[in-house]
């Protein structure tokens, strides 16, 4: 199993070390550092932990240096949220790539299951990041679908789901007439599982039973599609 933190490279490598020792007046990449600090804070404390003061404190900078880079707390949170969303998308992609099935049809199904499982895996192993990813939702929705973007860097979770469903159609595992709206069903189960297991009343469910619950729910959706 991949460690989640290995999915993305460090924001800047050597500079971080130099910063510790030299500590120049001009930071050089403070914006990135602040987002990264917020990302780490969000890991433990969720969106509420991402504050202007907390983030600047963690970056070793005076508390209102952040105002050079973000208009207010909300904008910082948007940036950190996007960062979390990208992390989710990266895990989904990684788990998809791991699928080793020859048969096109079975392969397409496995890959759909894989992104679903990755979604729930992300939520349960990194609940703080998961909550933060969905803490900001008033990014203007696009016409093509809801805004679950991760900026210019790759596809978002929603796009990845769409790609899997398209694949299912291509391969003949999903009747084309059932394709429209299929996202809603697939996404809803998986998001529901993630939320119930993470923040909701299924929090206390023994870890052993979790996989079971996920398997049942994903099975029902697969059969229903």
Contacting residues toward its own copies, per CB under 8 A? 134, 137-138, 140-141, 146-148, 158, 181-182, 184-185, 187-196, 199-205, 212-214, 216-217, 219-225
| Nearest of 104, 125, 85 to residue 211 by alpha carbon | 125
Under DSSP, the state recorded for 172 is T
Burial 164-196 (b: 16+ CB within 10 A, else e): bbebbbeeebbeeeeeeebbeebbebbbebbbb
Smallest distance from the beta carbon of 115 to its own copies, in angstroms? 15
DSSP label at residue 154: S
Contacts of 130 (CB under 8 A, 6+ apart): 84, 88, 122, 123, 194, 198
Which residue's CB is nearer to its own copies, number 60 or number 146?
146
Selection from its own copies, DNA, none that 222 binds (CB < 5 to 8 A by kind) is its own copies
Residue from 1, 6, 14, 25 in contact with DNA (CB under 7 A): 25
User: Of 41, 33, 38, nearest to 10 (Cα)?
Assistant: 33
> Which of DNA, its own copies, none has residue 13 at its interface (CB below 5 to 8 Å by kind)?
none
53 within 8 A of 65, measured Cβ to Cβ: no
Nearest approach in angstroms of CB 120 to its own copies is 10
Q: Which CB, 22 or 207, lies closer to DNA?
A: 22
Site map for DNA, 38-67, x if CB under 7 A?
Answer: -------------xxxx-x----xxxxx-x
CB of 219 to its own copies, least distance (A): 7
What's the full length of the chain, in residues?
Answer: 225
Residue 224's binding partner, choosing from its own copies, DNA, none, with beta-carbon cut-off 5 to 8 A by kind? its own copies
The CB-of-42 to DNA minimum distance in angstroms stands at: 13
Instruction: Please state the closest distance from residue 15 (CB atom) to DNA, in A.
Output: 12
Residue 95 engages DNA in binding (rule: CB under 7 A): no
Least distance from its own copies to the Cβ atom of residue 85, Å: 9
210/213 Cα distance (integer angstroms): 5
Pair 153, 181: CB distance under 8 Å: no
CA 22 to chain centre: 34
68 is a site residue for DNA (CB under 7 A): yes
Which residues here bind DNA, judged by CB under 7 A? 24-28, 30, 51-54, 56, 61-65, 67-69, 72-74
């Amino acid at each position: 199993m991949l460690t989640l933190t290995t999915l993305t490279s460090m924001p800047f490598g050597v500079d971080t070390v130099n910063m510790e020792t030299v500590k120049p007046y001009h930071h050089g990449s403070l914006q990135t550092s602040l987002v990264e600090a917020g990302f780490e804070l969000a890991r433990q404390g969720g969106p509420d932990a991402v504050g202007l003061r907390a983030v600047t404190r963690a970056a070793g900078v005076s508390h209102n240096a952040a105002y050079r880079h973000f208009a207010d707390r909300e904008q910082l949170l948007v940036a950190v949220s996007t960062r979390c969303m990208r992390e989710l998308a990266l895990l989904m992609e990684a788990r998809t790539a791991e699928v080793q099935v020859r048969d096109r049809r079975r392969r397409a199904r496995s890959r759909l299951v894989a992104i679903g499982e990755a979604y729930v895996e992300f939520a349960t192993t990194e609940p703080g990041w998961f909550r933060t990813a969905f803490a900001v939702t008033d990014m203007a929705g696009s016409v093509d679908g809801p805004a679950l973007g991760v900026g210019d860097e790759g596809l978002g979770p929603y796009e990845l789901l769409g790609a899997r469903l398209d694949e299912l159609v291509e391969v003949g595992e999903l009747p084309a007439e059932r394709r429209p709206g299929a996202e809603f069903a697939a996404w809803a189960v998986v998001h529901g599982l993630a939320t119930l297991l993470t923040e909701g009343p299924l929090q206390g469910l023994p870890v052993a039973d979790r996989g079971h619950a996920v398997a049942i729910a994903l099975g029902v959706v697969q059969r229903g599609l």
